[in-house]
Amino acid sequence: MKSTAATKQTLIRKLEELHQIPTIPAVLAPLLRYLQQPVEQLNVHKVTDMIAQDKSLAVQCLQMANSPLFGRWQKVESLRGAVVSLGFQRVSDIAMSCGVLNMMPREGGMDPVAFWEHSLGCALVCRHFARKISFGDPGKAYLAGLLHDLGIIVNLWVLPKEFQAAFELAKAEAIPLHEAEERVLGFTHCESGKLLAERWDLSPELADVVALHHSPQAAGDHSGIVALVALSDLLCRMSGLNYGFFEARQVNLLEETGFAVLSRYCPSLGTFDWARLTFELDSYMDEVHSLVRAIYRT
């Protein structure tokens, strides 16, 4: 295998050459740009029309809209119906989820179903956690959780063999993926995700989540949301919403850097009921598994 420094150079060169990640749904980039505007400027018809341009995306969105995870109370048959019954924010979350997760190569080192489950699970945990501790906008927290591991998709596209070796090492030694990437590639999905975040012109807040979710202490202005994602990611990795393997270590959330950082924003975190959050997470894990498996078959 090449030296890690050479691998990093290769990544940067390949990313620079890559004008568009091959399977990115055409609708995703404009949709993402559109959804980053203030919510009062968004037009429901415009968003549903954008999603409807991609037939398979529209079908997946409807499947998700009909899951209890998104608060469905009656069966929805159309995207417009989904907007009416679930609200604009939820439908946007759903469209983004399918759009981004469809970029995951179907073949490669990591099981795409596990990646979907981890990303979607992390998005849901972030939203739930943000609500519980009254932290910022739960919709933003969802998007941050969904996108946090964007760099894994980049690594799978541009350096599939090298990434596979890193993934195998993480699995064999039961260590965090970013530590294995550092050893094999000389960089992590945080760095490659940052390059894509810049390419996509993501908001500085989202770009920081993508780049710093494994080192929340390094985040400046956006350290609150970065820490929220870091803790949610950890909760998922320690549960059945991991990347397909368990890391061999005992985690005490109260000793995590993310906890100290988030406590600065939410002083009540010291008395937060973690056992209850873990219990609630367990209750929707099965829903995440069955939803992702159903979507993945379409």
Residues that bind Fe ion (CB under 5 A): 149, 233
- Gyration radius of the chain over CA positions: 18
DSSP state of 196: H
Nearest approach, Cβ of 189 to Fe ion (angstroms)?
Answer: 6
Nearest approach, Cβ of 95 to Fe ion (angstroms)?
Answer: 21
The amino acid sitting at 227 is A
Judged by CB, which is closer to Fe ion: 76, or 145?
145
Nearest approach, Cβ of 97 to Fe ion (angstroms)?
Answer: 15
Judged by CB, which is closer to Fe ion: 49, or 168?
168
Site of tokens 């932290």: 135
Nearest approach, Cβ of 279 to Fe ion (angstroms)?
Answer: 21
Q: Which residues have C-beta within 8 Å of that of residue 196, sequence separation ≥ 6?
A: 15, 21, 150, 151, 153, 154, 210
DSSP state of 272: -
What distance in Å separates the CA atoms of residue 17 and residue 11, rounded to the nearest whole number?
A: 10
- The helix-helix angle for 88-101 and 28-35 (nearest 10°) equals 140
How many other C-beta atoms are found inside a 10 Å radius of the C-beta of residue 247? 19
Judged by CB, which is closer to Fe ion: 149, or 208?
149
Judged by CB, which is closer to Fe ion: 65, or 288?
288
Judged by CB, which is closer to Fe ion: 77, or 198?
198
Judged by CB, which is closer to Fe ion: 140, or 178?
178
Nearest approach, Cβ of 117 to Fe ion (angstroms)?
Answer: 11
Helices (H) and strands (E) in the chain, counts: 16, 0
Three-state secondary structure call for residue 221: coil
Nearest approach, Cβ of 44 to Fe ion (angstroms)?
Answer: 31
- Of residues 31, 25, 21, the one with CA closest to residue 56: 25
